[in-house]
Structure 1
Amino acid sequence: MTEPAELDLPVEGGTLRVLRFGDGPRIALAVHGITASGMAFGALARRLPAEWSLYAPDLRGRGGSADAPGGYGLDRHADDVCRLARDLGAGAPVALTGHSMGAYVALLAADRRPHLFDRLLLVDGGLPLPVPPGADLDAILDATLGPAIDRLGRTYPTDGEYVEFFRAHPALGPDWNADVEAYVRYDLTGPGGARRSKAREGAVRRDGRDLLASGDRFAAALRGLGVPALLLHAPLGLLGQEPPMLPADVVGRWTGAGPDLPAELLRGTNHYTILLGAAAGTVAERFTTLV
């Protein structure tokens, strides 16, 4: 598997680490999930046609951008995506996709600067999630992302033990492949004997609370979509079993009333393997043909 080029590209207040897969003239921009990194798009990038280049930033607080200044929040990330799209597109619109939390960031970016993008592919994210009024948002995060958040505060004696932690994950272990391993190993940092994830818990919690509290904003953006869009979603969730990340009634509400956001269920996938498994070929095909 070809290693991506690692670039440091300007955004407000500093730079972001951006992974570039491919060197074709057709530009795509891909936004990762809440504890992930740009390496989540390796499998997708390898399946794009040769004329494409895919740029996948590490969002602030993750990956090579773990120490990027300026704070967190979905608006901050959406601003960064718009800046990258403007600079990379050099006057031409770019193709945009996002997975999980990245789908929400991509949606906000496309809503505020639709002229920068010629399509929007949402992958298992981007739809408003039901949150009870007055709910404890951190408690919801702990209930839904508990294992993912827990690992951010742990250290591991060796790289191998960190990899084995992920190999035991019920959503990843059964479908383990070279793309998953590259994604996991890219996330490692720290001294020998105390290896840990690059992702910052503070960034994850800040962005998670923002995501849960922003349903009205996502709804408005979906109603006002100004670019061709498609939702791809998985039948299984974060632990490789039901419920899915996007409940069926939520998908039905936002995709059944009109043609602006068609949806496709990619059977046999979970929240991670929809992007890191064999379905990456389908995701690539839908992305490149979406108009």
Structure 2
Amino acid sequence: MTPSDTAPAGARPAPEPLPFEELRVPVPGGDLTVLRWAAPDPAAPTVLALHGITANALSWGPVARRLAGRATLVAPDLRGRAGSADLPGPYGIAVHADDAATVAEALGLHRPVLAGHSMGAFTAALAAVRHPQRFGRLLLVDGGAGFPAPTHLSPDELLTAVIGPAMNRLSMTFPDRASYRAFWQAHPAFARRWTPEVDAYIQRDLVGHEPQLRSSCRVEAVRADGTGLFGDDVLAAVHRLPAPATLVLAERGLLDEPQGLYDADRLASVLDGARVTVLHAPDTNHYTLLTGEEGAALIAGLLLDAAGQEAS
């Protein structure tokens, strides 16, 4: 099955991935790989975007395309993933937050809009708290508002409960790239929503050689980051933001289930008193809010709005 096999008959062909630059930024322990989709106008605003716990920078590719050159988008492969897989620990949300600040300084980004998806949203919130002068407006995408961890689960059980098949695949091997594509095309969140951009994003995750391909994500990094999501500093970050933020929520969950990550009662509880405006994105799930056509268009528009607010 190829990416085009899932397109409805008569549908417009899905857009191809937008070209990008691949940069290296020195951080403690080595170099962080950073992707940049540069706007033609050097004076255009910049967005620094952070991906989820087992994702990589190309998850932001559809949003970069929908920005249509109106803003530069910079997205690192976070420590322990894809192009940054060889970076050593320590890992954790605070380390990623400081790496993001290092990227902004190294690339000369002046108060970029800071965005994060899923775990990246928690990282973005903590980065805004730890480095308030480094970043501008904040956009949280289906994450960033935490809740206490269940005490009866081990760290691996907790991670499996939170991210499901994304955790299981870290111990799997695949004979070729087609089998990895088939694995993801069977995922409920991507069924009937496959595009060349999604394909490029998931293929960036593969390392090794056939017939022993595997995910680039380092299990020790995912464990440290996943358990770190429930740390007191991370849970408190959304209440300590230096400026108002926007949180946009997918209607559906990680497995395309009807309930999204936050129900109304939980959301009201964890955001009580926080300076966060909540928006809801209909007909999206946790993944397609970022990678789907409608979701990417919404996120791109919100990023441009945030850039305009920062400039005013």
Task: Give the equivalent residue in structure 2 for 1:161.
Answer: 179
- Per-residue CA deviation, residues 159-198 of structure 1 (Å, 9 max, x unaligned), is 0110010000000122111221111111111112111111
Does 2:92 align with 1:52? no
Q: Aligned ranges for residues 42-121 of structure 1 at < 5 Å?
A: 42-90=61-109, 92-121=110-139
- Superposed CA deviations along residues 86-135 of structure 1, whole A, max 9, x for unmatched, are 22235x21111000000011111000111111111000000112323465
What residue number does 2:247 align with? 231
1:132 correspondence with 2:154: no
Shift of 1:255: 4.6
Q: Aligned-pair RMSD on alpha carbons?
A: 1.7
Query: Helix, strand or coil: the match of 1:263?
Result: strand
- Kept in 2, the 8 Å contact 1:78–1:105? The answer is yes
Aligned partners of 1:132, 1:156: CA distance in 2, in Å? 33
Three-state SS of the structure 1 residue aligned to 2:246 is strand
- 1:218 is matched with which residue? 234
Counterpart position of 2:14: none
Where 1:116 maps in the other structure, the secondary structure is coil
Aligned 8 A contact 2:50 2:116 in 1: yes
CA distance in 2, matches of 1:49, 1:79: 29
Change (3 A) 1:228 1:48: farther
Are residues 1:262 and 2:277 paired?
yes
Corresponding residue pairs, total: 287
TM-score, normalising length: structure 2:
0.87
Is it true that 1:282 corresponds to 2:298 in the alignment? yes
Q: Which of 208, 213, 220 is the matching residue for 1:190?
A: 208
Do structure 1's residue 240 and structure 2's residue 259 form an aligned pair?
no
> In 1, Cα distance between the equivalents of 2:270 and 2:303?
20
Alpha-carbon distance between aligned partners in 1 of 2:26 and 2:262, rounded to the nearest angstrom: 33
Residues 1:157 and 1:206: Cα distance change in structure 2 (over 3 Å): same
Query: Using a 3 Å threshold, how does the CA distance of structure 1 residues 144 and 219 change in structure 2: closer, same or farther?
Result: closer
Structure 2: stretches of 5+ with no match in the other structure: 1-16
Cα distance in 2 between the residues matched to 1:134 and 1:181: 37
Under a length normalisation based on structure 1, what TM-score does the superposition of the two structures give?
A: 0.93
Q: Deviations over 1:28-52 (max 9, x none)?
A: 1100000000000000011114242
What is aligned with 1:16? 32
User: Is the Cα–Cα contact under 8 Å of residues 72 and 207 in structure 1 kept in the other structure?
Assistant: yes
- Deviation per residue, 1:135-171 (Å, 9 max, x gap): 5333221223231111111111110110010000000
Q: Is the 8 A contact 1:118 1:228 kept in 2?
A: no
Q: In 2 relative to 1, CA 49–229 (structure 1 residues): closer, same or farther, beyond 3 Å?
A: farther
* 1:245 Cα offset (Å): 1.9
1:155 and 1:195 in contact (8 A); partners too: yes
2:195 alignment partner in structure 1? 177
- Please identify, of 218-227 and 201-210, the stretch whose mean Cα deviation from structure 2 is larger: 218-227
The equivalent of 1:273 in structure 2 is 288
